Amino acid sequence: MPPSTDLLQGTLDLLILKTLALESMHGWGIAQRIQQVSRDALQIGQGSLYPALHRLEYRGWIQSDWGASENNRRAKFYSLTPAGTQQLQTELETWDRLSSAIGLIVRQTPEAAS
């Protein structure tokens, strides 16, 4: 669980939205998917996952429906709303801007600095 606290503020929202952009998923699935895709670099603890999911839902970016899971259990599936798709786009742009800006600074060579 420790890596989740290292996530940049607001990044979790982006990760969730991006994950849900592919297909609707339950909370466990979202955590697993993020872990897999990041090759175990990012582990999302439930302590941050569920408050984030609920926050996004109350903002109207994702919606939830009860459905059956792979092993036929009742589970809450989250999916992106149109507003959520829009939000994802905005957050992706922000992320790109931010990461390239950070990249510029971090990868700066000593020669270029002087």
Partner 1 sequence: MIPQLRRLLTQLRFLFSPNSRHDLDEELQFHIDQSTQQKIAQGLPPEEARRQTLIEFGGVERARDESHQQRPGWWIETLAQDIRYALRGFRRNPVFTVTAIATLALGIGATTAVFSVVDPILFRALPYGHPDGLVSIGLTQSLEKQEFTLGGFYYYWKDNQTPFESLTEEGGTDECDLTEHNPVRLNCARVEGNFLPTLGISPLLGRNFLPEEDRPHGPKVALISYGLWLTQYNRDPGVLNKLIEIDGRSVRVIGVLPKDFEMPRLQAADVVVPRAVDISAQRTVNDGLGIPMWVFARLKPGITIEQAYQAMQPLYQDILKILPVEDRAVFRKDFHFKVRSLRDRQVDDIRLIAWILFGSVLAVLLIACANVASLLLTRATARQRELAVRSALGASRARLIRQTLTEAVLLSLAGAAAGCGLAAILLKIFVAIAPAGIPFLGKAALDPRILLFTVLLALFSGMLFGLVPALKRPSPGALAARTTPSGNHAALRRALVVGQVSVSMILLSGAGLLLRSFQNLQSQNLGMQTHGILTVQTSLTLQRYASSQKKMEFYRQVEGAIRRIPGITSVGISDSLPPAGWHGGRRYADLLVDGRSATPLNTGGTVTCRSVTPGYFRALGIPLVKGQNFTEEQRDLPNEHFMILSRLLADRLFPQQNPLNQRIRIGLDDFWYTIVGVASEVRNADLQGDNEPEFYTLRRYSDSNWNHTILTVETTLPPDTVVPWIRSQISHLDPTVPVDIEPMHERISKLADRPRFESALLGFFAFTGLLMAIIGLYGVTAFMVAQRTQEVGVRMALGASRSSILRLILWDGVRLIALGTTLGLGASLALSRLLRTMLFSIGPHDPVTFTAVTVLLALVALIATLLPASSATKVDPVVALRYE
Residues in contact with partner 1 by the rule CB under 8 A: 1, 26-28, 31, 45-47, 50-51, 53-55, 57-60, 69, 71, 73-76, 83, 86
Please tell me the distance from the alpha carbon of residue 17 to that of residue 85, in angstroms, as a whole number.
8
As measured in angstroms, the least distance from the Cβ of 27 to partner 1 is 6
Instruction: Pick between residue 18 and residue 76 the one whose CB is nearest to partner 1.
Output: 76
Residues 6+ apart with CB under 8 A from 107: none
Instruction: Pick between residue 41 and residue 83 the one whose CB is nearest to partner 1.
Output: 83
Instruction: Pick between residue 82 and residue 110 the one whose CB is nearest to partner 1.
Output: 82
As measured in angstroms, the least distance from the Cβ of 111 to partner 1 is 46
Please report the sign of the dihedral spanned by the C-alpha atoms of residue 41, residue 47, residue 50, residue 56: negative
Nearest to 9 by CA among 52, 72, 61: 52
Give the SS3 label for residue 101: helix
Instruction: Pick between residue 37 and residue 102 the one whose CB is nearest to partner 1.
Output: 37
Number of residues written out for the chain: 114
